[in-house]
Amino acid sequence: MTDNARLEAADQLFKTPCRFMLSVADLVQLPPPDKNEVAFLGRSNVGKSSLLNALFSRRDIAKTSSTPGRTQQLNYFDFLGKIYLVDLPGYGYAKAPVKEVERWQKVLRMYLRGRPNLRRVFLLIDSRIGLKASDEEMMKELDTNAVPYQIVLTKTDKVSALECTKTAESIERALEKHPAAHVTVLKTSSEKKTGLSEVRAEIVDFCE
């Protein structure tokens, strides 16, 4: 299949909406690991929920907000009965009570350590900011636990094309030291709907 055909086929599949399944606040509530799973991870407010919505050309699949810490549980979506998509709570600063934040951070870490069907984590990075210390820490943790992950730049509508390319290249260089990282950095804007086909195509690879 040519690259274009791969992207078009993925766009076609994503015309079918995903179905909200459940919100998980505690690991005992996780669905059985009977399907491949792909998760959206990143600092609070980076655009995880927005990206999930944009992939399906919808605004209301996952709840978004300008207040960091909007997503406080692991939100499960079933796509085509073939794969679970998981909108995760953010890490880093969150506008929520400390105890609450500690609780969901613990659940998040435990989830990332021991989910056998987790095939890929999309680690979202704000293209205006680049990698922060908390992202580097998370990458090390994913490496240690051998969780395959891929960096996705978000909000690229807020930077110039040149700046975006420079950020992507500098991250790609940093990734050489991270064994669990996918070598390619994807560039997206949920606002302008760019780079979405590439993310869709990566997900489709896990639908079989």
Ligand X SMILES: Nc1nc2c(ncn2[C@@H]2O[C@H](COP(=O)(O)OP(=O)(O)OP(=O)(O)O)[C@@H](O)[C@H]2O)c(=O)[nH]1
* 44 binds ligand X, rule: CB under 6 A: yes
Sequence-distant (6+) residues with CB within 8 A of 44 are 68, 69, 70, 89, 90, 91, 92, 93, 94
Closest listed residue to residue 207, CA positions, set 74, 84, 61: 84
Among 18-26, 107-115, 131-139, 188-196, which window interacts with ligand X (CB under 6 A)? 188-196
116, burial (CB in 10 Å: exposed 0-12, middle 13-18, buried 19+): exposed
Strand partners, 153: 125, 187
- Which of the choices Mg ion, ligand X, none does residue 189 contact, using the CB cut-off of 5 to 8 A by kind? ligand X
155 binds, among Mg ion, ligand X, none (CB under 5 to 8 A by kind): ligand X
**158 vs 178 by CB, closer to Mg ion:** 158
Residue 153 near residue 127 (C-beta atoms within 8 A): yes
Shortest spacing between CB 71 and ligand X, in angstroms: 3
Closest CA to 45 of 21, 70, 20, 76: 70
Tell whether residue 167 is a contact of ligand X (CB under 6 A). no
Structure tokens at 14: 């994503």
Instruction: Report the distance separating Cα 106 and Cα 112, nearest Å.
Output: 10
Classify burial at 187, counting beta carbons within 10 Å of its beta carbon; exposed 0-12, middle 13-18, buried 19 or more. buried
Which of 31-39, 144-152, 165-173, 184-192 is the region at the interface with ligand X (rule: CB under 6 A)? 184-192
In the complex, what is the shortest distance from the CB of residue 176 to ligand X, in angstroms, rounded to a whole number?
A: 26
| Binding residues for ligand X restricted to 50-109, rule: CB under 6 A | 50, 64-66, 68-71, 89-90
**Which one of the spans 6-14, 22-30, 48-56, 107-115 is the region binding ligand X (CB under 6 A)?**
48-56
Residues 13-72 that bind Mg ion (CB under 5 A): 48-49, 70-71
Task: For CA atoms 88, 93, 96, 100, give the dihedral sign.
Answer: positive
In degrees, to the nearest 5, what angle opens at C-alpha 148 toward C-alphas 141 and 185? Answer: 100
Among Mg ion, ligand X, none, partner that 167 touches (CB below 5 to 8 angstroms by kind)? none
Least distance to Mg ion, CB of residue 66, Å: 11
Residues 137-156 binding ligand X (CB under 6 A) are 154-155
- 47, 74, 200, 202: residue in contact with ligand X (rule CB under 6 A): 47
Positions in the binding site for Mg ion (CB under 5 A): 48-49, 70-71
Positions in the binding site for ligand X (CB under 6 A): 42, 44-50, 64-66, 68-71, 89-90, 154-155, 157-158, 189-191
